[in-house]
Amino acid sequence: MAIGLICAIPQELAHLRTLLVDAVAVRAAHTEFVSGTLDGFDVVLAGSGMGKVNSALVATVLADRFGCGAIVFSGVAGGLDPHLAVGDVVIADRVIQHDAGLIEDDRLQTYQPGHVPFINPTEVFGYRVDDALLALVVDRLAEFTLPTAAIRFGTVLSGDQYLHCEVTRQRLQREFGGLAVEMEGGAVAQVADAFGVPWLVIRALSDLAGRDSRFDFLAFVDEAAASSVAILRWLLPVLSPFVQRRSTG
């Protein structure tokens, strides 16, 4: 059983694609699923395109058609926490779809996807990384350093919008305490949870989601995507037992 790997954009995918050994590509829907090995671990790599529907579709194919035993998103994000800098890495312990919910009094009240408070209320908010997997990831990363960057664990926000606004950046950080914002992780987590597959979201900051974010993104996307891949490779040994566990039932 393989580890499913998802990237959204070509800049994120490029780093991983060249590292795959014995690669075999199959087309499905709008993209290519490449089976192969990465550092000796069986993986299936797919570029989803941007946004929650694209990444949900690809996560579904990885879980259902390829039977992946774990799914990892690797890529870039905008920073929300003012203590973070471009190049820092955020690993989600929880993801929230910040654009899902109820609109009341001209304002979005974020709520769990698939639920409306007065139709099918739920206490659940966001998606949490499997506790045992998270503990192993934290442990393993204690021995990993990036030359000038920090690695942080916390909440990542997902929505179908590229954030390029300081006011919204501050509001999202205030409301959810999020470390980073991106456009796919929440959907990958929702699909993986539905299949009972453990998941991880690894994001290196290409920008800080405010006014300069479009310029920073273009300047730093390649470097940030490479950092995310370095961390993903370091974490493969702790993901592998989860994959084996799923194949043995």
Query: Catalytic residue positions?
Result: 12, 207
Q: Which span (37-45, 81-89, 132-140, 181-189) binds ligand ADE, by CB under 6 A?
A: 181-189
Residue 182 binds ligand ADE (CB under 6 A): yes
Is residue 185 involved in binding ligand ADE (CB under 6 A)? no
- Residue of the chain from 77, 151, 189, 197 that contacts ligand ADE (CB under 6 A): 77
**Minimum CB–partner distance for residue 140 and ligand ADE (Å):** 25
Question: Is the separation of the CB atoms in 42 and 22 below 8 Å?
Answer: no
Task: Characterize 192-210 residue by residue with b for buried, 16 or more Cβ atoms within 10 angstroms of its Cβ, and e for exposed.
Answer: beebebbbbbbbbbbbbbb
Residue (of 66, 71, 74) closest to 3 by Cα position:
71
Contact flag: residue 55 with ligand ADE (CB under 6 A): no
Cβ atoms < 10 Å from Cβ of 124 = 11
Q: Which of 31, 54, 112, 206 binds ligand ADE (CB under 6 A)?
A: 206
12 sits in the region (left: phi over 0; alpha: psi -120 to 50; else beta) called alpha
Two tokens at 192?
């993986």
Copy the structure tokens of residue 165: 């606004």
Would you say 20 or 180 has its CB closer to ligand ADE?
Answer: 180
| Region from 81-89, 117-125, 131-139, 177-185 binding ligand ADE, contact rule CB under 6 A | 177-185
* Contact residue for ligand ADE among 41, 153, 162, 234 (CB under 6 A): 162
